[in-house]
């Protein structure tokens, strides 16, 4: 575990560094409060800090306030070292953002015990952050393919429509449906169907740009949002997606399977500005059904009424 020791007294700083290094810590030092605050603002900075209260340029509570004013990065556990004994002073340090304090000269064993407490708290914080991020991912992504799920992509589409209409941007929506997918499940089983869906998701992602959006829309349907695409480019991209699916068999535990996809596309610049995302997707879905009716494995464009 890395730790920052900030003390303007060189002898005290060096003694503390040696003590901590013997305890297995990797020690970084600072000669004043301003240097400490700057080091604690750098990427990958220590997450434990021992800060002397009385320092030039910026005192210990000032360092705490600067660190706590920043919302980015991982939590930093700060212990103030002080010769102040009054309850008011201790309250001042804790309210400034310190997590703990030790009076000087501090007992080495007490220091180590308190730092171990800090490490346990940081470990708990890391687990909570990991759990929160996992919950957020599960709420917005499809469990099987790890693509955006329906709710997340519809929310994203609403935002992008507002932005595009405000700034005059372009968005193309593609509803993609794997052809005869029910037969895959019926003949080979749902586990093979899952293998096909996972590989289809991978091929779709490989056919678009990093800033485009690919989501599992439901069942064997996928929704693709192409940012900044006019109708011509959107149709070209849709053909590339269709070709990526049909170009080579899918590798499954039951052997290679030839899969095709039908796509309905819609570019928002061709449609009235008052249409909602739901209405636009309804029109794209009708284009998809025309593609199915035309023999599958093709692209159809949603055309606004004259």
Alpha helical stretches, state H, the chain: 10-22, 33-39, 60-69, 87-95, 108-140, 150-167, 181-188, 190-206, 231-246, 277-293
Query: How buried is residue 164: exposed, middle or buried, by Cβ count under 10 Å (0-12/13-18/19+)?
Result: middle
How far is 97 from 64, CA to CA, in rounded Å?
A: 5
How far is 293 from 200, CA to CA, in rounded Å?
A: 22
| Percent helix, strand and coil across the chain, each to the nearest 5 | 50, 20, 30
How far is 253 from 266, CA to CA, in rounded Å?
A: 36
User: Which residues have a Cβ under 8 Å from the Cβ of 59 and sit 6 or more positions away?
Assistant: 33, 53
* Cα Rg, the chain, nearest whole Å: 29
What angle is formed at CA 87 by the lines to CA 83 and CA 90, rounded to 5 degrees?
Answer: 55
pLDDT at 84: 66
Provide the terminal-to-terminal Cα distance of the chain, rounded to the nearest Å: 68
C-alpha torsion 110→112→116→118, nearest 10 = 80
Helices 87-95, 60-69: axis angle to 10 degrees equals 30
Q: ω into residue 105 within 30 of 0, thus cis?
A: yes
Contact 164, 171 (CB under 8 A): yes
pLDDT at 230: 87
Query: How buried is residue 186: exposed, middle or buried, by Cβ count under 10 Å (0-12/13-18/19+)?
Result: exposed
User: Which residues have a Cβ under 8 Å from the Cβ of 237 and sit 6 or more positions away?
Assistant: 172, 174, 207, 208, 226, 229
Q: Which domains does the chain have, with CATH numbers?
A: 2-137 (3.40.50.2300), 150-301 (3.30.70.270)
pTM: 0.72
Query: CA neighbours within 13 Å on the CB side: how many for 186?
Result: 4
DSSP label at residue 129 = H
pLDDT at 216: 97
**Residue numbers annotated as active site:** 220
User: Which residues have a Cβ under 8 Å from the Cβ of 156 and sit 6 or more positions away?
Assistant: 148, 213, 225
One digit per residue, pLDDT tens: the chain, 306 residues?
Answer: 899 999 998 999 999 999 999 989 999 999 999 999 999 999 889 999 999 988 988 999 999 999 999 877 789 999 999 876 666 777 888 899 999 988 888 888 999 999 999 999 999 999 998 999 999 999 999 999 999 999 999 999 999 888 888 888 889 999 999 999 999 999 999 999 999 999 999 999 999 999 999 999 999 999 999 999 888 899 999 999 999 999 999 999 999 999 999 999 999 888 877 788 899 999 999 999 999 999 999 999 998 876
């Amino acid at each position: 575990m890395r730790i920052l020791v900030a003390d303007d007294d060189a002898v005290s700083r060096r003694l503390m560094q040696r003590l901590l290094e013997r305890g297995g810590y990797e020690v970084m030092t600072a000669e004043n409060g301003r240097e400490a605050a700057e080091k604690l603002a750098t990427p990958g900075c220590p997450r434990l800090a021992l800060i002397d209260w009385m320092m030039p340029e910026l005192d210990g509570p000032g360092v705490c306030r600067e660190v706590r004013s920043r919302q980015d990065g991982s939590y930093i556990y700060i212990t103030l070292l002080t010769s102040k004994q009054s309850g008011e002073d201790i309250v001042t340090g804790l309210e400034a953002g310190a997590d703990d304090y030790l009076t000087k000269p501090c007992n080495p064993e007490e220091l180590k015990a308190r730092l171990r407490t800090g490490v346990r708290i940081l470990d708990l914080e890391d687990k909570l952050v990991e759990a929160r991020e996992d919950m957020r991912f599960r709420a917005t992504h499809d469990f099987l393919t790890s693509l955006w799920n329906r709710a997340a992509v519809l929310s994203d589409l609403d935002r992008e429509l507002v932005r595009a209409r405000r700034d005059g941007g372009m968005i193309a929506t593609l509803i993609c449906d794997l052809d005869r997918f029910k037969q895959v499940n019926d003949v080979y089983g749902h586990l093979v169907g899952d293998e096909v869906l996972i590989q289809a998701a991978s091929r779709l992602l490989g056919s678009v740009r990093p800033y485009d959006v690919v989501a599992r829309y439901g069942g064997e349907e996928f929704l693709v949002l192409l940012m900044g695409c006019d109708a011509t480019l959107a149709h070209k991209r849709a053909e590339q997606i269709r070709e990526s699916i049909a170009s080579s068999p899918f590798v499954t535990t039951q052997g290679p399977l030839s899969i095709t996809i039908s796509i309905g596309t819609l570019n928002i610049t061709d449609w009235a500005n008052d249409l909602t995302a739901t209405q636009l997707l309804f029109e794209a879905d009708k284009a998809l059904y025309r593609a199915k009716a035309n023999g599958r494995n093709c692209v159809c464009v949603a055309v606004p009424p004259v």
